[in-house]
Amino acid sequence: MVDILHKVGIKSSSPNDVYQALTALDGLSAWWTTTTRGEGKVGGVLQFRFGAGGFDMKVLELQPGKRVLWQVIDGPQEWIGTKVSFEFKQGGEWTFVYFKHQGWKEPVEFMHHCGTKWAVFLLSVKSLLETGKGLPGPTISSSTAGNDAVSFPAR
Amino acid sequence: MVDILHKVGIKSSSPNDVYQALTALDGLSAWWTTTTRGEGKVGGVLQFRFGAGGFDMKVLELQPGKRVLWQVIDGPQEWIGTKVSFEFKQGGEWTFVYFKHQGWKEPVEFMHHCGTKWAVFLLSVKSLLETGKGLPGPTISSSTAGNDAVSFPAR
């Protein structure tokens, strides 16, 4: 088992604002993909779509201001069954988001791509909170244009 | 053992240009840190400095246009002995860089930070090759300002 790990510091007086961006549909739509649908409560399923591809996440755990945990129930084969979590710690004027995408069976080529993409989208969360404007898909971002043009999997 | 993995697609007609940016002092200075010194040949040691902190990398392997392998011989405790590699594959007009930072003993908090930072610096390599301008340190980049303000380790 191998994991993707990230940490991003977001200027925010409370972890509740970041928590909101990671749980409410309008928050998720503003940093990951504008085509986000579904039920964000525990037991619900969130559907994130990027053109033909996308991910279905079952919400396993919600601790307001502290932690969000999803499990992938549909999407690229390598993602199914993996878990995605966000934990928040406040340090002065910063909310630190600790991100984990856990349960990959093998460090496949696609995992390299996803490692970079998650960083880009976590920086989109940061941008959303700090400037009011995220950089959500499904439009291909210039930062990973090469990857997306060639290797983003159809679902 | 846990690894940091990334992939970035860079618009470039040949992997040799990316290879140059990852081996020549002026290339390295233009995307990672402007304070880069040392010997870039196999067996040499490259010194990357960020204010008070930094990393010493021994160059273990150089395959022009294909692969670069370093080993960390000085720097933050968690990095010492770990290996950093870049492999290149050409796909049409894109050079894909497969990045690995391997040999972490534990998935510590600092590894989350480094996972995100490596993504940011690999996107700096991309920017350098595609626009002629990278985003090197030691100036703190806005994209990870929170992390750097609080947790970038002194060496």
Domain boundaries, chain B: 2-140
- pLDDT-based confidence at residue B10 (cuts at 50, 70, 90): very high
pLDDT at A51: 82
Count other C-beta atoms under 10 Å from residue A130's C-beta. 15
The ipTM, to two decimals, is 0.90
pLDDT at A138: 81
Find, in chain B, the residue whose alpha carbon is nearest to that of A119.
Answer: B116
- Contacts with A3 from chain B: Cβ below 8 Å: 2, 107
Partner residue opposite B111 with nearest CB, options A5, A11, A122: A5
Q: Cα separation of B6 and A6, whole Å?
A: 12
Q: Cα separation of A142 and B46, whole Å?
A: 31
- Indicate whether A61 pLDDT > 80: yes
pLDDT at B52: 76
Q: What does the mean pLDDT of chain B come to? A: 91
Is residue A42 within 8 A of residue A62, CB to CB? The reply is yes
Q: How many C-alpha atoms does B89 have within 13 Å on its Cβ side?
A: 9
Beta strands in A1-155 (DSSP E): 2-11, 35-38, 45-50, 53-63, 67-74, 83-91, 94-104
Beta-sheet pairing, B45-50 with B35-38: antiparallel
List alpha helices for A22-100, DSSP H.
25-31
Interface test with chain A among B1, B3, B6, B90, by most A beta carbons within 10 Å: B6
pLDDT at A141: 56
Is residue A61 within 8 A of residue A42, CB to CB? The reply is yes
- Indicate whether B143 pLDDT > 70: no
- pLDDT-based confidence at residue A150 (cuts at 50, 70, 90): very low
- What average pLDDT score do residues A143-149 get? 61
For the record, the structure tokens of B40 come out as 């870039």
- Indicate whether A154 pLDDT > 50: no
Q: How far apart are the CA of A8 and the nearest CA of chain B, in angstroms?
A: 6
State whether A2 and B6 contact (CB < 8 Å). no
- Indicate whether B139 pLDDT > 80: no
CA angle at residue A126 from B151 to A153, to 5 degrees? 110
State whether B9 and A120 contact (CB < 8 Å). no
- Contacts with B131 from chain A: Cβ below 8 Å: none
Is residue A77 within 8 A of residue B63, CB to CB? The reply is no
Q: How far apart are the CA of B112 and the nearest CA of chain A, in angstroms?
A: 4
Interface test with chain A among B3, B4, B7, B98, by most A beta carbons within 10 Å: B7
Provide CATH code, domain A2-148. Answer: 3.30.530.20
State whether A115 and B4 contact (CB < 8 Å). yes
- Contacts with B94 from chain A: Cβ below 8 Å: 146, 149-150
Partner residue opposite B113 with nearest CB, options A2, A7, A146: A7
Q: Cα separation of A31 and A29, whole Å?
A: 6
Question: Tens of pLDDT along B47-95?
Answer: 999 887 899 999 999 999 999 999 999 999 999 999 999 999 999 999 9
Chain A residues at the B interface, defined by Cβ less than 8 Å, are 2-11, 91-92, 94, 96, 98-100, 107, 109, 111-113, 115-116, 119-120, 122-123, 126, 143-147, 149-151
Say which CATH architecture domain B2-140 belongs to.
2-Layer Sandwich (3.30)
Interface test with chain B among A116, A141, A152, by most B beta carbons within 10 Å: A116
Q: Cα separation of A59 and B101, whole Å?
A: 31
- What average pLDDT score do residues B143-152 get? 56
Q: Percentage of chain A with pLDDT > 90?
A: 84
- pLDDT-based confidence at residue A33 (cuts at 50, 70, 90): very high
Q: How many C-alpha atoms does A111 have within 13 Å on its Cβ side?
A: 22
Interface test with chain B among A1, A7, A151, by most B beta carbons within 10 Å: A7
- What average pLDDT score do residues A3-14 get? 96
- pTM for the structure as a whole: 0.91
Phi/psi of residue B5, each to 5°?
-125, 140
- Contacts with A7 from chain B: Cβ below 8 Å: 109, 112-113, 115-116, 147, 151
Q: What does the mean pLDDT of chain A come to? A: 91
Beta-sheet pairing, A83-91 with A94-104: antiparallel
Question: Tens of pLDDT along B19-55?
Answer: 999 999 999 999 999 999 999 999 999 999 988 789 9
Q: Cα separation of B59 and B71, whole Å?
A: 7
- pLDDT-based confidence at residue A142 (cuts at 50, 70, 90): low
Q: Cα separation of A131 and A125, whole Å?
A: 10
State whether B116 and A122 contact (CB < 8 Å). yes
CA nearest neighbour of B32 among B144, B146, B118: B118
State whether B96 and A4 contact (CB < 8 Å). no
